[in-house]
Structure 1
């Protein structure tokens, strides 16, 4: 290549990096810090502190969070500043991907790959978040480069530095994010199969020794991990629609945008057609060890990432397919850059960058067109809470909200947080509320829609038993309900009622015990909270059973009606007990209190929503 062409290429690379930097800098601090970012930010304060609340994230390896900690000690902990570290990390990934494409497939491939990576929506999204996802494309590109060296003909010598780089990069990936597991799985499967086909036995022995050492060093973290999914999660179904969703993931990065916009989907489909033609052309014209290595990443990484989703029993999200986006874009660039005089190929070479840019523009416009595509508005909620005094309390029904904790200091929120651990039993909830709310004028019940922490309605039931609901504020993804405390909150810790058994006749000679647990009410409150302790042995629980309670006047007329699911804290019966007939739950029922202390009769029925006819009301 002549010096003039080299200068033009360098100028093109610099221009691409500048465009990538400008795009990632745009609106960097516009969105609120949100829950998951808070879990990445707090470990940065403690560095190697204990795992758990206000410490190291129990579900994320610490390496990237430690790097954030070092950065904020230099630059401060403002949200824009901390996200700038993610931006810089993302820029390294773009530069490495562009460099790999240029080194493997030539200057034009490097330029095309650079454009695709610079304007990749999923890379843009995570370059603007304080999350450990963003270094993963760096490790993917580096391991691609290293894998090709190990798959070279066995006559070629693998340098000592390559072995050291492989060890260091893989270990760093393993201790940065759990997505390293599918990355290392792809790496081992591809390289081991390649070495077996080449019969490179000596290299294979060294490979197994190195991977064994890495496993030993990763084991301390691995032993701390447990599946994070719950029965409330819905893993994706294995069908053709899932393939389309995975492809859209590369061009959204935001779950709510997958399938949300017809124009964006059309652009993704158009780029998909270009991708198929380009990859087919690369396989037809430029088969090589490097190309096969790249293709293995394109095909296998989504498979292993999907297996992680299914094994953990978690919902589909574009972020889990971040690893396979860079190899896919590089492979598309490689196919488009192959020499050709065909008019269609030449037109695609110019059209593909335009389509990629249009996808990025449309996706960015959509992101800021509606709050549903943005971070949940914890900042707006924190500003509202900052208007409260020490006589108010903020109830968090899932223990700890790191983003509100961050804003508590920044915005001087004076109202204390009442952090009730998620899925606490009835005794823990009412005792903690009774202690924390004593002397308070009001309580704010915080709700984050992404975390269903109060499936039983325990907190509204208990708070309405000692107060009056006044108002509700709903922002993007979050809500707060204000209760004016009018009664004696010590009523929440009232002793349990004497054990009284209410028997519900069920089919197959089974029954369900319903024992009144507590009846909570304070003078001036708008309702009473009835707690029923429910248990069943050998009951047919293949349906989602519900409890219906009716308050009847002396003349038999209906005064009030309340229904509640039977839950063991978050799971309904059909979900929780697929392999068992036993069940235990506490039902919370908020019952209106007549102003004139009129005596009422309480009737209860057990029924299933699947069979709505009155004939299936099973007991009174």
Structure 2
């Protein structure tokens, strides 16, 4: 590798490590910490049900026993793999298009906002990118001189990539197929390829068999089917922040093929083949319940960056040929990186100026609670949130932190039992019990907002404060906890959805929350989405308060509910402080795209909104 590339990598490594321990760990990083400190057998069982295999967590398990469990220690492996991946990308570009391409690739990849985020995160994504690029580099070594040792290293690196993240199977499969085609007419290479094709399944097969339930069981929540346009849009905007930033990156990557170098063709086959295989699996096999984020295919981003570096050199060479001899240089291609760099400047500056580096400030949230929590109080992480526990333990907060559910709860009785047991263990008898809630993506585990309902029905919310997307709320409750029964009610919405019960939680003071619990049931297939509105109207029909939202949320839409089963959905309506007199509470459904309301029939009438109760304010 050229000296300027080595110098650039050293500077990047220093840049990555400068203050990288200052932002808080967030939810996913807390999960890494939680798994890494488990005993290995327990870790294996936990990762078998997770979205990624065990290899990263196993490495982190041994690492934290050497380096400790600080933010610095937890994130350092990601930095190390990030520098390695950037170096491999530069070396591959150097191999294909020469020395300038290597440096251009290192700059494009190493300073990208997308890469900067994950290179400082205690997750497996830079390890995944490094594994895929190392496997590609090993394949290139085989093409130079096929022998058993090189096939063995390729097999080992391919297995490591697949066991770092399941999406790592995609580039491995494409490389295995390409290597097989290349070996078909080379007897020595064909024999070693055959051995590697037996060894590779032997290395990853036992794990895939052990974790087989992960592939046959969908997520506990549904997502809209993924589309081709949606997938490509997610990749383009995820890899290259901004509306059109992906366009010059795509043009430069396409330019890498201008002169038809053999390496450029292999690079294109790997990039496009992996992209098409990923799309085929996500759109065909797992279109309904696959969870996708561009970071899962971070190796595609690394391959794209390699193409950008090569394309800049190719365009530079073509332009250089048209210049006087004294001005010709392969380095002139750097000029064609300027438009891309200019479009990335604002996202890069925003990342650099953000002290949290795009992460929620969990440390500050826990410190906020630690300063105020009193003896006899407790805290609940609703969705079990191990990043909250990480800071709770490090700050030695003198109060219990309860880990909430990790799978969706659909029955109110489960929430009631959970709160009663928590109060029995940690609350004081015959006294109000104060509970702090850390809420992050609570719609995943509490889609009907049953925790919110029971806490408000048995007390009130003292206050709340956002810390990024993490919400910290403070409740005072009066145990024992009791369910409030719903008043039977029947309203039919276009013969597809029925409202079967209602309960209004009266506000306790001016400006308090009106709690509305609605028991919904799907009685026929629901093909179009439905959103629910709750309106509070004065006697003249004037709207004084409202709350609109999905039914009950976008992860578990009513279209996926079992037929003829009613679930209570809790809705908060924040009331103005100056309400006095009698008000009508009306609910209904509407189409989110057209805004058209669903027609409803109930015992005493029909219309586009159903009156479900009266609210009296003194």
Alignment partners' CA distance in 2, 1:527 and 1:57? 39
Alignment partners' CA distance in 1, 2:516 and 2:359? 37
Contact 1:393 1:442 in 2 (8 A): yes
Contact 2:505 2:516 in 1 (8 A): yes
Does residue 472 in structure 1 map to residue 464 in structure 2? yes
Structure 2 counterpart of 1:390: 375
Does residue 324 in structure 1 map to residue 300 in structure 2? yes
Distance change in 2, residues 1:307/1:475 (3 Å)? farther
- After TM superposition, the score normalised by the length of structure 2 is 0.78
Distance change in 2, residues 1:392/1:55 (3 Å)? farther
Tell me the secondary structure at the aligned position of residue 390 of structure 1.
coil
Structure 2 counterpart of 1:280: 257
1:11-50 map, 5 Å? 11-50=3-42
Alignment partners' CA distance in 1, 2:185 and 2:442? 48
Structure 2 counterpart of 1:249: 238
Distance change in 2, residues 1:315/1:61 (3 Å)? closer
Alignment partners' CA distance in 2, 1:110 and 1:58? 36
Structure 2: gaps spanning 5 or more residues? 324-328, 576-581, 600-605, 613-618
Distance change in 2, residues 1:120/1:604 (3 Å)? closer
Contact 2:86 2:106 in 1 (8 A): yes
Structure 1 counterpart of 2:616: none
Distance change in 2, residues 1:101/1:549 (3 Å)? closer
1:559-574 map, 5 Å? 574=558
The alpha carbon displacement at 1:368 in A equals 3.8
Does residue 302 in structure 1 map to residue 288 in structure 2? no
Task: Kindly tell me the number of residue pairs found equivalent between the two proteins.
Answer: 575
Alignment partners' CA distance in 1, 2:122 and 2:231? 28
The alpha carbon displacement at 1:587 in A equals 3.0
Structure 2 counterpart of 1:129: 121
Moved more, 40-49 or 352-361: 352-361
Tell me the secondary structure at the aligned position of residue 40 of structure 2.
coil
Alignment partners' CA distance in 2, 1:329 and 1:381? 37
Distance change in 2, residues 1:346/1:617 (3 Å)? same
- After TM superposition, the score normalised by the length of structure 1 is 0.77
The alpha carbon displacement at 1:14 in A equals 2.4
The alpha carbon displacement at 1:132 in A equals 0.6
Does residue 174 in structure 1 map to residue 123 in structure 2? no
Structure 1 counterpart of 2:415: 429
Alignment partners' CA distance in 1, 2:159 and 2:258? 36
In structure 1, which of residues 232, 238, 242 is the aligned counterpart of residue 228 of structure 2?
A: 238
Structure 2 counterpart of 1:416: 400
Alignment partners' CA distance in 1, 2:40 and 2:270? 33
Contact 1:101 1:110 in 2 (8 A): yes
CA-based RMSD of the aligned residues comes to 4.4
Structure 1 counterpart of 2:500: 514
Cα distance per residue 1:36-76 (max 9 Å; x no partner): 11111122212514149998872221211221222222222
Alignment partners' CA distance in 1, 2:356 and 2:265? 40
Distance change in 2, residues 1:371/1:481 (3 Å)? farther
Structure 1: gaps spanning 5 or more residues? 1-8, 252-256, 260-264, 594-599
Contact 2:362 2:387 in 1 (8 A): yes
Distance change in 2, residues 1:412/1:336 (3 Å)? same
Alignment partners' CA distance in 2, 1:462 and 1:305? 43
Structure 2 counterpart of 1:213: 202
Structure 1 counterpart of 2:347: 363
Contact 1:109 1:333 in 2 (8 A): yes
Alignment partners' CA distance in 1, 2:113 and 2:557? 41
Tell me the secondary structure at the aligned position of residue 294 of structure 1.
helix
